[in-house]
Structure 1
Amino acid sequence: MFSRRDGCDGAGGWFADSVDLELLSDSTMKSVERALDLVPVKKPVFSYCAGSPLPHGVHLHKGGVNFALFSRHATRVWLLLFEDIHATEPFQTIELDPRHHKTGDMWHICIEGAGRGLVYAYRVDGPNAPEHGHRFDSRRILLDPYATALASPPCWDFSGFCSTGAPTADDPPPHPPAIVKNVVTANGFDWEDDRPLYHPWSDLVIYETHVRGLTMHPSSGGKFRGSYLGVIDKIPYLKRLGITAVEFMPLQEFNPHENTLVNPETGERLKNYWGYNTIAFFAPYEGYGSRLYPGCQVDEFKAMVKALHKAGIEVLLDVVFNHTAEGDETGPTLNFRGLDNSIYYILEEDKRRYKNYSGCGNTMNCNHPVVRNYILDCLRYWVVEMHVDGFRFDLASILGRDRNGQLVPNPPLLEQIAEDPILRDVKLIAEAWDAGGAYLVGRFPGERWSEWNGHYRDDVRRYWRGDPGMAGALASRLCGSADVYEHSGKAPVNSINFVTCHDGFTLNDLVSYERKHNFANGENNRDGCNCNYSANYGWEGPTDDPTINRIRLRQMKNFMATLLVSRGVPMILGGDEFCRTQRGNNNAYCQDNEISWYDWTLVEKNRDFLEFVRGMIAFRRRHPVLSREKFYRPEDVSWFNPAGLIPDWHGDTAIGSHIHVRDEEGPELCLLFNAHPHPVSFVLPAPPQGCRWFKMVDTDAAPPFDVCQPGHGVPQQEPSLWVQDRSMVVLVAEPSA
């Protein structure tokens, strides 16, 4: 698709002489055309000058491209310029003279006449002294930590050596067939009038999904399956469902081929599918782009954000600042380790090994001032240049550890993120735990931070499974988890409520499997959580038994209905709304195949459940009392057992609540929950004067009475109501007319 065009002034790159622009969405057309004009080709030799130490990374200006790289302990730095993204050797190598190209710890140079499309990398020399925390190797080709786009070969080579440079004669470096390189990009996207949406937390319904998995299955249709542009095809679906924010699993650059395990059932080489091993934090993953031209993933990510915003849907990114893809001391050297290992990582006392609070081999030294600034620069970039609305921080407790790995009371990084003027209005969500034992749910520092509420997940699962003594916990979760958050001055919207997420069973599998089935991951079923609070109701996995399937459907409705009537911010795992299955795999991090991809044929097969979920989202929106950003007051909710008396919170498995409302919050509600394996009769509370109860939600009922449309509820004539086994009912008080 791309060919060289000689005689063009500029840097190394590719010119597209036949690009099928009809394949692109309208929202990216102008940016693609601009990119094709700006992608230049190689000059024999570039001239250069000292350049500027700020800003970090690569920046275009009228005269060329400025490069600025941090390394405190480096003694020599080389900038490598490549003819194109496929080149294995640089056509020009420039050693930076510290007398002219170094200011403090910043190495800098300006390449004159260069522009967008220039392909580059670094080599850096310094002390190779692991006992002091230094691991410099001048043969290694290093990525720019501030790179905004990478160009990666089909199969990554992690030797990362270049034959140009400083190896000794008796230790010649291998010559890799292909290496990962950086690509210079420009901020020329036509955003039109795109602005942040700033949805109130109370309006959010979050959809957690994977860019590739969402549209990679052949049933998804569209021309750009598994890509940023493919997401655009699903926006009408998401909008109709009622989603107001999409939380994307990691899409900053990672190596999909780093996994060396093999599926023992098929012999298939497994991958890093989820992407929780970031290599370049400023760069959107190239594999989710169309590869129409180098760096196109940047424009296509922006096109996706722009289209989502037009539909009223915010974009949240799952970011992984707790560790990097360089792993432990046996891992590859990609950038941070080769640039300044002792600054970027928390090291053990012997300086040779890495503290591992992430469970992935290393831990970033997040509260070192240099690393802190790097993370802040990165977040600002994604907000200002990429128009992202918020972030979910993976293993965020690590961001509160100091340079010795100790948790600190007021972590400077977390406070800076929350108080930063650019980030002041973005949404901040913490996974408030780490692999080092720091479980900070309800105690995560800072009022601005919301948290994935693991208590919500576990308690709701256990209640509906029928575990004894869970009624009190269920009531707390329905009310916004005041027992978890109120003592720290937080509100219900600080609780991100979820029953399922990417990490664990899907909703369908939660009610179909009692144990994990991860053998396809090549780890003999040792990986993944063993404590899932799941049930199969009589058969492990899929079954044709209609009785079991009815129970499973009812339980899925119970989970979704509970989630959507709870105060706090609901998050739905993508595909759960149409019963997506991972065949019992609760850790599908390595399954880039139909185990993880969304099978869109299930939309029609399970249309009734999909409509139930959509109806419950709409019900939540019609009743703002359910999503208020404050905790219920004692006078706002009355709790009762089936006999209408005060519940035994540790003994009852069936409970009810009468939600009293203020005028602006809509009609009063009555919620009835029965986790028993048999029907229960509830004495109903008296409705407001002049009203009677209408049954609007019944998870045991068939459509359309499982979730009724406004004005079509089932009127209740009796003072009591039977709630069927393992089911839930929601009543709304309406004028009796």
Structure 2
Amino acid sequence: MKLSSDADFRLVPLGATPAENGCFFSIWSPQAKEIIVHIYNHDEKELYKVSLPVRKGSVWYGFLPNVSVGDYYAIEALGEDDPEKGCFFKAGRLLTDPYAKALSKPFIYNHNEYINNNASFVPKCIVTSNDFDWQEVRKPNVGRDGLIIYEANVKGLTKLNPLVPKKLQGKYLGVCHESVIAHLKKLGVTAIQLNPIAAFMSEPHLAKLGLVNYWGYNPINFMAPDPRYAVEYKNAVVEFKTMVRELHRNGIAVILDVVYNHTAEAGINGCVLSLKGLDARNYYIYKTGNDGQRDYSSFYDVSGCGNSVNVQERPTLNLVLDSLIYWVKHMQVDGFRFDLGVTICRESHCNSFHEFDRNSAFLKSCFCVNRLAQSIMIAEPWDVGPNGYRLGQFPQGWSEQNDQFRDTVRRFWRGDKGIIGKFATRIMGSRDIFNSHERSINASVNFVTYHDGFTLEDLVSYTQKNNLANGENNRDGSNDNYSSNQGEEGPSTNPEVLEKRWLLKRNLIATTLISQGIPHLLAGDEFSRTQKGNNNAYCQDNEITWMKWDYSKENIEFIDFIGRISSLRRNSRMIRELILRDDPFHKNNRQFEAKWYSHTGEPMNSQMWNDANTSSVSLTICSLTRDVDENWCFLFNQDYQRVEFELPVISHSSEWKEVLDTTVPNGVPRVRTASNINTIVVNTPCIKVFVLQEKNGL
């Protein structure tokens, strides 16, 4: 229900709020001397401007008659212009409202425009309403145990998809095209995780190089979907909601990658676009002197991007929480992945300065707000500041991006010795990191590829990164990739090399999908997408990063392979969420017992685990309750050598049936002529999966 034009200003939320016969404006800016709202037509020609007449503490209010949904506006904040005091007020400089829900166009950095034609450079905010026809489509009921996440970039996902109409390629509406949805369902994906879509701008140094920030990790407005992904800029909100609705209609959840750790305004000499021009003192972190006083001339940077957002301060925390609630409530997203999640949990107390706090105001607020507590919450559990690596330290209810899983699984399958114990720990939920007394077994987000790093194809094709196209003389990007080229660097036509690469890819993906935790896949890996060895392609908005929908025979088999394992996972309570007999976190009627064996069938002991030559192991997981009849056996072999696995005898009235074989391109096991096989011979690195069935069963 709309507010009446004579409503008490205390009832008016921050931002632009449509009301009867006009619109309320509410802007937080405690140091400003005056706040002016500029109103524009749809050609961005200024119609008039109004100084907000009422101030209550740190908030400026006003009611503008005849302003309605769809109208354009911008903010001008007047006051002291002294950056060394944390004041960036300047007459004539337009700002976007931090609470704007839509923008008239994308931010495209142009130095001359920014300096000399600010009114043209800055996108205009759009007054919006929350009206939308959701057609009674509700959010899919996907718990963390049912997640299979597919990470994609809105543009890159469909820019080269020939089945998507040209005008929809690279857009929100392209993501929900029927061909894309059918593909996601074939893979078994239950959630799509989108690279940042909140309005962002490329860094000035990239503009000088003729490059752009393709990934989008440089935000300005936390609540406005970036119009560059809309067919019509002004319709970005409706197009985004349409995408979400259609994905939900097909049972696919939507997770947003959100960036609250920094903004595109950089440091003291960076652009002034929104937060910095309204309340730089509270929105950002600054270094402190020996006397404990803030040095406003020195932005404190733990993000590596020039500034760090200060979520400990009330207006900043309020903005972050309001934006999260807006995305969940009005845009109907299902969850978030927090980029550099440690930064937004840093606080200063007594003798500690800006340290990670597991009981930070932000984390406690997320627990207390039901809409957020019930959402999918995933942390990237590190930043680049002091003591920034915090894997396993987020609270109950959160999941975390597990780089230890990535590194261990990569190393194991490339043949590194002496890590079979670590490998076993990783595939069983990394309980050494995620304490079973406090965290669910789905706290670990398991991945072998992410947007930042090698693609799967490059992981098996390059031993060295090749980032020269990024303009930093190959200095950027990680040097620790744990990759293997299988005998030739880069593209190859050698059949033996290609066969080994395909096998390695299948082993990596299979491990991700059968391990305990939440599996995370990178878009394009199923199509053998290559970035030509670039492991930091954040600035490549071109065919280096765009996904090629290449339905070659080999890729079709690989897609079938992924879909087969996803189906096994979906249909197994055990693989989705293993509850061991001694797991104190869970208590229900589903309990399992896990046992590890050597390839000879002997129970694994400490000597075997610590033997650097141990390269094969088998795992059985059997149900301890009658109502869940699941019994599984997994064989893992690391080497190109002949190994005979003795399958354990669980019951004389049952036999093992093979359901997955990574040596086969589509994963479908070869037909065996004999029944009741107890010995399995392998000659290559592989995974084989068996289920127990009655001898006269299937």
User: What is the TM-score of this pair, normalised by structure 1?
Assistant: 0.86
Task: Describe the SS at the equivalent of 1:410.
Answer: coil
Are residues 1:442 and 2:388 paired?
Answer: no
| Alignment match, 1:660 | 622
- 1:260/1:718 CA distance change after superposition, 3 Å: closer
CA drift of 1:338 comes to 0.6
Structure 2 counterparts to residues 446-465 of structure 1, below 5 A: 446-465=395-414
For 1:531 and 1:714, locate their aligned partners in 2 and report how far apart those are by CA, in whole Å. Answer: 45
What value does the CA root-mean-square deviation take over the aligned residues? 2.2
For 1:421, the equivalent position in structure 2 comes to 370
Give the letter aligned to residue 363 of structure 1.
S
Of 228, 232, 237, 1:287 maps to 228
Alignment match, 1:78:
36
2:254 corresponds in structure 1 to 315
Q: Which residue in 1 is equivalent to 2:306?
A: 361
Quick one: distance in 2 between partners of 1:432 and 1:677?
A: 36
In structure 2, the CA distance between the partners of 1:304 and 1:409, relative to structure 1 (3 Å rule), is: closer
The amino acid of 2:51's aligned partner reads: E
Q: 1:26 corresponds to which residue?
A: none
Cα distance between partner residues in 1 of 2:114 and 2:488: 54
Partner amino acid, structure 1, of 2:247: L
Instruction: Tell me the distance in 2 between the aligned counterparts of 1:304 and 1:208.
Output: 16
- Cα distance change, pair 538–60 in 1 and its aligned pair in 2 (3 A): same
2:648 is the alignment partner of 1:707 = no
Paired residue total: 663
What is the alpha-carbon distance in structure 2 between the residues aligned to residue 80 and residue 526 of structure 1?
44
Task: Report how far residue 544 of structure 1 moved.
Answer: 0.6
Corresponding residue for 1:64? Answer: 22
Q: Give the partner amino acid of 1:216.
A: K
SS in 1 for 2:366: helix
2:172 aligns with 228
- Equivalent AA in structure 2 for residue 572 of structure 1: L
Q: Matches of 2:632 and 2:7 in 1, distance apart? A: 70
Residue aligning to 2:291: none
Distance 1:177 1:398, change over 3 A: closer
Aligned CA distance change for structure 1 residues 161 and 120 (closer, same or farther; 3 Å): farther
Residue from 694, 714, 723 that aligns with 2:682: 723
Q: How does 1:523-672 map to 2 (within 5 A)?
A: 523-602=472-551, 606-628=555-577, 630-631=579-580, 633=582, 636-645=593-602, 646-647=604-605, 648-650=608-610, 651=612, 652-661=614-623, 662-672=625-635
Structure 1 counterpart of 2:461, from 498, 502, 512: 512
What does the per-residue CA deviation read over 1:351-370, in whole Å, with 9 as the maximum and x for residues that have no partner?
20111111111000011111
Query: Taking structure 1 as reference, are residues 363 and 713 closer, same or farther at Cα in structure 2, changes over 3 Å only?
Result: farther
Given that 2:111 and 2:204 are in contact with CA atoms closer than 8 Å, whether structure 1 keeps it comes out as no
Q: Which residue of 1 aligns with 2:292?
A: none
Opposite residue 173 of structure 2, the aligned amino acid is: L
Q: Quote how far apart the aligned CAs of 1:49 are.
A: 8.6
The reply on whether 1:94 has 2:39 as its aligned counterpart is no
Q: Deviations over 1:35-62 (max 9, x none)?
A: xxxxxxxxxxxxx999835211111112
CA spacing shift, 1:219–1:515, aligned 2, 3 Å: farther
Note if contact 2:527-2:548 (Cα within 8 Å) is conserved in structure 1.
no
Give how far 1:667 is off.
3.3
Q: Structure 2: how far apart are the matches of 1:713 and 1:279?
A: 60
Measured after TM superposition, the shift of residue 637 of structure 1 is 1.1
Query: 1:17-36 maps to which residues of 2 (within 5 A)?
Result: none
Q: Residue 496 of structure 2 aligns to a residue in which SS?
A: helix
Contact 2:94/2:119 (<8 A) preserved: no
Q: Which amino acid aligns with 1:442?
A: G
Asked if the contact 1:699/1:728 (under 8 Å) is kept, the reply is yes
Map residues 668-683 of structure 1 onto 2, 5 A cutoff: 668-683=631-646
Contact 1:491 1:629 in 2 (8 A): no
Change (3 A) 1:552 1:153: closer
Report percent identity of matched pairs: 37
Which 10-residue stretch deviates more, 399-408 or 628-637? 628-637
Q: Distance in 2 between matches of 1:50 and 1:331?
A: 39
CA distance in 2, matches of 1:353, 1:579: 45
Distance verdict in 2 for CA 1:721–1:250, change over 3 Å? same
Match of 2:199 in 1: 253
Q: CA deviation at 1:669?
A: 1.2
Matched, 1:202 2:162: no
Q: Unpaired segments of 5 or more residues in structure 2?
A: 289-294, 584-591
SS of the residue aligned with 2:23?
Answer: strand
CA displacement at 1:132 relative to structure 2: 2.7
Which residue of the partner structure matches residue 141 of structure 1?
Answer: 94
1:211 Cα deviation after fit: 0.7
CA contact (8 A) 1:60 1:66 kept: yes
CA distance 1:622–1:281, shift in 2 (3 Å): same
What does residue range 686-705 of structure 1 map to in structure 2 within 5 Å? 686-703=649-666
* Structure-2 change in CA distance of 1:226 and 1:145 (3 Å): same
Q: Is the 8 A contact 2:108 2:201 kept in 1?
A: no
Partner residue, 1:374? 319
1:96 deviation in Å? Answer: 2.4
For residues 273 and 49 of structure 1, what CA distance do their matches in structure 2 show?
Answer: 45
TM-score by length of 2: 0.91
Amino acid at match of 2:276: R
**1:24 — aligned with what?**
none
Match of 1:23 in 2: none
Report the AA paired with residue 138 of structure 1: A
- Cα deviations by residue, 1:117-168 (Å, 9 ceiling, x for unpaired): 2111111122223333222222321110000011226844467779xxxxxx
CA drift of 1:702 comes to 4.5
**Paired residue for 2:588?**
none
Q: Corresponding residue for 1:734? A: 693
Distance 1:175 1:669 in 2: 64
Measure the CA separation in 2 of the matches of 1:409 and 1:177: 43
Task: Report the alpha carbon displacement of residue 655 of structure 1 after superposing the two structures with TM.
Answer: 1.1
Q: 1:106-255, aligned counterparts within 5 Å?
A: 106-152=59-105, 155-157=108-110, 177-217=120-160, 219-223=162-166, 224-233=168-177, 234-255=180-201
SS of 1:428's equivalent in the other structure is strand
How far did residue 216 of structure 1 move?
0.6
